[in-house]
Amino acid sequence: MTMNISRWSVLGLAWFMLCGITGCTRWIDVKSPSVDLQETIAHSLPEAERVPLVTNSFHLSRNGASQDPSIDLERRILNSIQETSLFSPLLPLGERTDSLGDKIVSARITVDETIEPHSWLSAFKGIVIGGSMFLLSPFINLEYGYSATVALELERWDGQVTRYESNSSGTVHYKLFAATPVMIDELKGHVTEACLTELTRQLVRDTRLYMASSAPLPDTDIRTVTVKAKRPAGTQPARSFVPVTTATKP
């Protein structure tokens, strides 16, 4: 009898250890852009050909609702652009633009996030796990979906506007005990990196478009002057002479 109790105790302990180990696993699937990473590396431009890039606006939305701008996300986007060696310097939103010169590229950044926690499916699986007293937790997968679209609109000093856009999505698959905020941050990081890789590839493709010698400055010194035409000489109206008759004395 004692041997049977010990055997079941060992089996039960082994099962709970298995649940603890497998119940904390997770893996991430990300839709990465089919692009060669070497294409994102720009040729080194001479300092004289680089122009400043200034962030004029940054909009962030999540599931269609507007959010406060993320300083960390803006810094990450600018760092990716900086790695292309196209611009110098890069100024974030709100920085002073004095003494930057006349040739400036203005940037408008838009990030749209979509989060799908699959709450109804997770709740159903949670009920199943709860009803089985966690015994089925190693065999039931939970999911958390995230997608992002990053758009970059650049306006050159002569008014020409070019828009770049990239999107990616991913899903994290996890067991019950692996659901942590770190898991979500990892998924967002991978998806954002995929977006920025594609975005910088598009930007590098237009390297010549943002060189200082690519376009002249717009002429803003045009003035309108009204000139009155002078009346040509010799066209003045002739004076009329009235003949005068002088009476002669007898």
Q: What residue spans define the domains of the chain?
A: 20-210
Q: Which amino acid is at 227?
A: V
Residue with tokens 């989060």: 115
Per-residue pLDDT of the chain (250 residues; tens, 9 = 90+): 444 555 545 444 444 454 444 445 665 677 765 544 444 454 567 888 999 999 999 999 999 999 998 899 999 999 999 999 999 899 999 888 887 888 999 999 999 999 887 544 444 445 444 544 455 555 566 788 899 999 999 999 999 999 999 999 998 877 655 556 778 888 899 999 999 999 999 999 999 999 999 888 876 554 444 444 454 555 454 444 444 444 444 4
169-182: per-residue pLDDT in tens? Answer: 998 877 655 556 77
Q: What does CATH list as the number for 20-210?
A: 3.30.160
11-57: per-residue pLDDT in tens? Answer: 444 444 544 444 456 656 777 655 444 444 545 678 889 999 999 99
Among 179, 187, 184, CA closest to 122: 179
As given in the structure block, the two tokens for residue 165 are 């856009």
Q: Which helix (H) or strand (E) holds 127?
A: helix 119-131
Q: What DSSP string describes 6-39?
A: HHHHHHHHHHHHHHHHHTT-EEEEE------GGG
